[in-house]
């Protein structure tokens, strides 16, 4: 599993990595640094890119902090940058692109977070150290001044980085009072970097979890998405559940942990869910697009209907009838509350709703008609449904697992074969609306729609038909109608 604890980081390795990364960005930071210096301003690479340079995971996004105010920054970038944007101006940020580099330059800040407001109050600061002191974690509070390349690390970020630990620059309680979103960010960075969160920080998160409620759903969602799409999502999710944050932002997840029945006859649905998530991640290359949020979130939500549908039948049998349908409903509601787009909501809910369908397949008992319906109902989520259904097998019984795998291989082969023969993905009735109206001699209206549905059903049940046969069937249906 990708969650194995990474080995400790050696400072000598960090030095080497940084030297290499600096070499790569030297042309840009030297040039830009000189521009600001010549205008009498300070400029420093800060936060994520400094941390990531040390970890050897620096991408092409470079964040800087500066003593210059945004209008001055804008002037200094004009004529140098290839493109410029200022959507962040109210927050002190000017962005630009220079070659392959995305640059964001933000004026020193000394903001306080007003606990009753949803927006941070921006107040410009006057020193680099002051700016670093208001950042979330010590590993994000390091800076490299340019062009002179001075290393600024007032809170011991490099020590915490070597120990793979997330710690706040000041007291965590004060930090989380200023901005409760930082509690989510702790879990997100734990998931992204594979770091531990310092015990006093976990304690503060636990004590203050409820404060997350003042944060807008959009900001919470963005952190949750980053956490779920990270290399170690289990780490972040465990932390959210342990601290109680999940009870506010994703209550369906801790609810699964209550599902263990007294006799331990039923698997712990919570642990099962985390394994399904990891098994789904293992298959993501099928989609060929890197981390896939929809697929991962569907894995996380696929059983959320279980707590509400659990019944204890006679003889100690536990059932979860319709937990797929109920789960899809719960998923929609949660994603709506977190302000996800309708497309994302539809995709995840569809996967949750269909995740059990394959269980009727047995050893290949489905008719071609059932296979067609499966493909049609999955629509553009078919590939993800393959992933989820396969991931949903967490039995330790090797023989059972192998049998399920083989049955699913078989289903996929049948889908491929039928698709080749019939263009399954775009199943349409054998006659179109115009033909229906002509054959029945009726004008556009509800009846044409009904005839169309009838032909579509027929097409699914019987496969493609000749125009003659379809016409005969349509007329028979029409005649039998009252």
Q: Does 136 bind ligand ATP (CB under 6 A)?
A: yes
Shortest CB 161 distance to Mg ion, Å = 16
Shortest CB 155 distance to ligand ATP, Å = 11
Q: How many residues bind ligand ATP (CB under 6 A)?
A: 9
C-beta pairs of 202-208 under 8 Å, 24+ apart in sequence: 202/239, 202/242, 202/243, 203/172, 204/171, 204/172, 204/173, 204/175, 204/176, 205/172, 205/176, 205/239, 205/243, 205/245, 206/242, 206/243, 206/244, 207/173, 208/173, 208/176, 208/177, 208/180, 208/183
Question: 58 or 335: whose CB is closer to ligand ATP?
Answer: 58
Question: 106 or 279: whose CB is closer to Mg ion?
Answer: 106
Q: Which does 182 bind (CB under 5 to 8 A by kind): Mg ion, ligand ATP, none?
A: ligand ATP
Shortest CB 345 distance to ligand ATP, Å = 24
**Part of the chain binding ligand ATP (CB under 6 A), chosen from 179-187, 234-242, 368-376, 421-429:** 179-187
Question: 44 or 451: whose CB is closer to ligand ATP?
Answer: 44
Q: How many angstroms separate the CA atoms of 246 and 256, rounded?
A: 12
Q: Which does 88 bind (CB under 5 to 8 A by kind): ligand ATP, Mg ion, none?
A: none
**Part of the chain binding ligand ATP (CB under 6 A), chosen from 33-41, 66-74, 174-182, 291-299:** 174-182
Query: How many other CB atoms are there within 10 angstroms of residue 416's CB atom?
Result: 11
Question: 229 or 451: whose CB is closer to Mg ion?
Answer: 229
Q: How many angstroms separate the CA atoms of 411 and 304, rounded?
A: 26
Q: Does 21 bind ligand ATP (CB under 6 A)?
A: no
Write the burial class of residue 19 (CB in 10 Å: 0-12 exposed, 13-18 middle, 19+ buried). Answer: exposed
Residue number with the smallest Cβ distance to ligand ATP? 48
Secondary structure string (H, E, C) spanning 208-257: HHHHHHHCCHHHHHHHHHHHHCCCCHHHHHHHHHHHCCHHHHCCHHHHHH
Shortest CB 250 distance to ligand ATP, Å = 19
Residue by residue, DSSP assigns 321-363 as TTHHHHHHHHHHHHHHHTT--HHHHHHHHHHHHHTTGGGG-TT
Shortest CB 225 distance to Mg ion, Å = 14
Q: Which residue from 135, 350, 355, 386 is in contact with ligand ATP, where contact means CB under 6 A?
A: 135
Question: 100 or 363: whose CB is closer to Mg ion?
Answer: 100
Residue number with the smallest Cβ distance to Mg ion? 48
Question: 33 or 95: whose CB is closer to ligand ATP?
Answer: 95
Question: 181 or 276: whose CB is closer to ligand ATP?
Answer: 181
Shortest CB 189 distance to ligand ATP, Å = 7
The footprint of ligand ATP on residues 57-76 (CB under 6 A) is: 63
The dihedral through the CA atoms of 300, 304, 305, 311 has a sign that is positive
Q: Does 167 bind ligand ATP (CB under 6 A)?
A: no
Q: How many angstroms separate the CA atoms of 16 and 163, rounded?
A: 17
Place of tokens 């003042």: 214
Q: Which residues bind Mg ion (CB under 5 A)?
A: 48
* Cα pseudo-dihedral 145, 148, 150, 152, rounded to 10: -20
Question: 166 or 181: whose CB is closer to ligand ATP?
Answer: 181
* Residues 274 and 234: beta-carbon distance below 8 Å: yes
Which helix (H) or strand (E) segment holds residue 177: the answer is: helix 172-178
Q: Which does 135 bind (CB under 5 to 8 A by kind): ligand ATP, Mg ion, none?
A: ligand ATP
Eight-state DSSP code of residue 115: T
Q: Does 47 bind ligand ATP (CB under 6 A)?
A: yes
Question: 192 or 295: whose CB is closer to Mg ion?
Answer: 192
Q: Which residue from 161, 181, 190, 225 is in contact with ligand ATP, where contact means CB under 6 A?
A: 181
Cross-strand partners of 62: 103
**Part of the chain binding ligand ATP (CB under 6 A), chosen from 72-80, 132-140, 161-169, 279-287:** 132-140
Q: How many angstroms separate the CA atoms of 398 and 156, rounded?
A: 49
Shortest CB 179 distance to ligand ATP, Å = 5
Is the bond leading into 421 cis (omega within 30 degrees of zero)? no
Q: How many angstroms separate the CA atoms of 197 and 303, rounded?
A: 29
Q: Which does 140 bind (CB under 5 to 8 A by kind): ligand ATP, Mg ion, none?
A: ligand ATP
Binding residues for ligand ATP, rule: CB under 6 A, are 47-48, 63, 135-136, 140, 179, 181-182
């Amino acid at each position: 599993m990708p969650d194995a604890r990474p080995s400790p980081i050696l400072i000598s390795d960090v030095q080497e990595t940084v030297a290499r990364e600096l070499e790569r960005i030297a042309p840009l930071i030297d040039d830009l640094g000189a521009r600001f210096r010549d205008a009498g301003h300070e400029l420093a690479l800060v936060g994520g890119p400094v941390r990531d340079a040390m970890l050897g995971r620096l991408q092409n996004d470079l964040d800087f902090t500066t003593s210059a105010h945004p209008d001055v920054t804008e002037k200094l970038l004009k004529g140098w940058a290839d493109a410029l944007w200022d959507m962040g101006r109210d927050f002190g940020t000017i962005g630009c692109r220079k070659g392959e580099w995305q640059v964001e330059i933000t004026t020193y800040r000394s903001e306080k977070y007003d606990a009753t407001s949803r927006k941070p109050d921006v107040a410009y600061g006057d020193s680099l150290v002051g700016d670093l002191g208001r950042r979330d974690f010590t590993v994000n509070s390091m800076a490299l001044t340019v062009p002179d390349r001075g290393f600024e690390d007032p809170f011991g970020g490099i020590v915490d980085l070597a120990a793979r630990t997330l710690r706040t620059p000041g007291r965590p309680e004060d930090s989380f009072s200023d901005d409760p979103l930082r509690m989510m960010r702790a879990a997100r960075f734990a998931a992204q970097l594979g770091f531990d969160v310092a015990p006093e920080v976990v304690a503060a998160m636990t004590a203050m979890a409820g404060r997350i409620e003042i944060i807008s759903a959009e900001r919470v969602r963005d952190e949750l998405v980053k956490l779920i799409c990270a290399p170690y999502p289990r780490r972040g999710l465990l932390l959210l559940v342990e601290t109680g944050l999940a009870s506010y932002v994703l209550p369906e997840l801790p609810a699964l942990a209550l599902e263990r029945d007294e006799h331990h006859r039923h698997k712990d649905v919570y642990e099962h869910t985390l394994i399904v998530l990891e098994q789904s991640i293992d298959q993501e290359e099928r989609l060929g697009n890197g981390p896939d949020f929809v697929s991962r979130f569907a894995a996380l939500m696929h059983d959320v209907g279980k707590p509400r549908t659990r019944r204890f039948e006679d003889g100690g049998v536990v059932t979860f009838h319709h937990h797929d349908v109920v789960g899809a409903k719960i998923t929609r509601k949660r994603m709506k509350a977190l302000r996800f787009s309708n497309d994302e909501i539809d995709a995840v809910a569809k996967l949750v709703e269909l995740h059990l369908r394959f269980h009727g397949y047995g050893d290949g008992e489905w008719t071609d008609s059932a296979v067609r319906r499966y493909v049609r109902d999955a629509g553009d989520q078919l590939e993800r449904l393959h992933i989820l259904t396969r991931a949903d097998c967490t039995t330790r019984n090797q023989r059972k697992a192998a049998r399920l795998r083989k049955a699913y291989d078989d289903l996929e082969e049948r889908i491929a074969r039928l698709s080749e023969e019939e263009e399954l993905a775009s199943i349409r009735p054998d006659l179109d609306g115009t033909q229906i109206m002509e054959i029945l001699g009726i004008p556009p209206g509800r009846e044409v729609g009904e005839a169309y549905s009838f032909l579509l059903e027929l097409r699914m049940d019987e496969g493609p038909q000749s125009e003659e046969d379809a016409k005969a069937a349509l007329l028979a249906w029409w005649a039998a109608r009252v």
